[in-house]
Structure 1
């Protein structure tokens, strides 16, 4: 099956794929989950470097990780690298974890150790348990998933999470950017797995804003890229805007265009209060009318 238009494919994703995937995930049917994602990939009516596949690829690798479908993960990590860039933290995480679990534990541990060196626990939001692998505290893959260091996951409405959020707002309001970043990490650690945690997008988005305020564009880019992986992140125009702006400031034209046009398409006035160089860039790329 291959659809003729993107709209037809997107309708199938919304009307059939998501429901079938939910059923397969609920029943822990790993083979079915893999088959559904393979079908979504193969039926896409366009080139496989199209940013509109990002959500499917992120979904695939997240579910393959949870269901320990490592052979499928090995096939899909290069796809994620094509869409996000080989050095994007989530790509590095999945590449390391996949290598660790498919017979190349040395390479996997080295990848995760470098990720930890660069980003600390923030690079392990998909599964904090692999911090132990990065630190060399686990010598070989186990038959079961690595246990997370902090098994307790709090609701975003929990007073402890809300208390941290209030401290974040106070730090941001008074320009204490590094303190805000540390507090955002603390809030994320309370929420557990960010891929399913309400509130993860807010902490990541705020952390990214703190990096933007300091013009730490690489850190901002990596943080907003992580934010696209959590509930509500991919479809949030503000997250896409800041991701695109960060890529622009780093000189990465293609991902900059992807992020900025995604934001613009969802909220056409989102760039009105931003520096005019971003609209100019989209016009120069031929993505919007002059």
Structure 2
């Protein structure tokens, strides 16, 4: 994005969103993240900022256990510049898939996150069931 003022505004919305997220005010956090999204010029997915805004939206929906909305946001984030390079994005997408009983897809995304992060460190703060879902795949690494 070439407009530094617009980038600062998007970062402010996201900063507010993360503060609310950290305080477990997830609905308000979503509002801030959506304000950031609406600030990005169309087509949004051509801008790198869109990837991290969509990832934040997807992560918040994950915490709210609204997995279909989370999947939609996270899949869209993958189509943004640099979006497919985020191990966290693959982790969250895999978790959402697992929690919606889409085990084959979930294992693919969780294992990709594991490989991109070069091990289980990315999973340390997550429920053990997610790393257990790919334990058989990780034995070869």
Higher relative contact order (CA 8 A, sep 6+): 2
Shift of 1:242: 0.3
Note the alpha carbon deviations across 1:221-245, whole angstroms, 9 max, x for none: 2211111111111111000000000
Partner of 2:52: 202
Matching of residue 215 in structure 1 with residue 65 in structure 2? yes
Structure 1 CA distance, aligned partners of 2:113 and 2:58? 16
- The 5-angstrom pairing of residues 124-273 of structure 1 reads 155=3, 158=6, 159-192=8-41, 193-267=43-117, 268=119, 269-273=121-125
- CA shift in 2, pair 1:203/1:288, >3 Å: same
- CA shift in 2, pair 1:178/1:157, >3 Å: same
The structure with more radius of gyration: 1
Partner of 1:94: none
**CA RMSD in angstroms, aligned pairs only:** 2.1
Shift of 1:256: 0.3
Note the alpha carbon deviations across 1:170-223, whole angstroms, 9 max, x for none: 321322212221221221121122322121122112111211221112211221
Structure 2: state its 5+ residue gaps. none
Matching of residue 287 in structure 1 with residue 137 in structure 2? yes
- TM-score normalized by structure 2? 0.84
Structure with the larger helix share: 2
Structure 2 CA distance, aligned partners of 1:156 and 1:251? 42
Partner of 1:91: none
Structure 2 CA distance, aligned partners of 1:163 and 1:154? 17
Structure 2 CA distance, aligned partners of 1:280 and 1:156? 43
- TM-score normalized by structure 1? 0.43
Structure 1: state its 5+ residue gaps. 1-152
Aligned length: 136
Structure 1 CA distance, aligned partners of 2:25 and 2:2? 26
Structure 2 CA distance, aligned partners of 1:199 and 1:156? 12
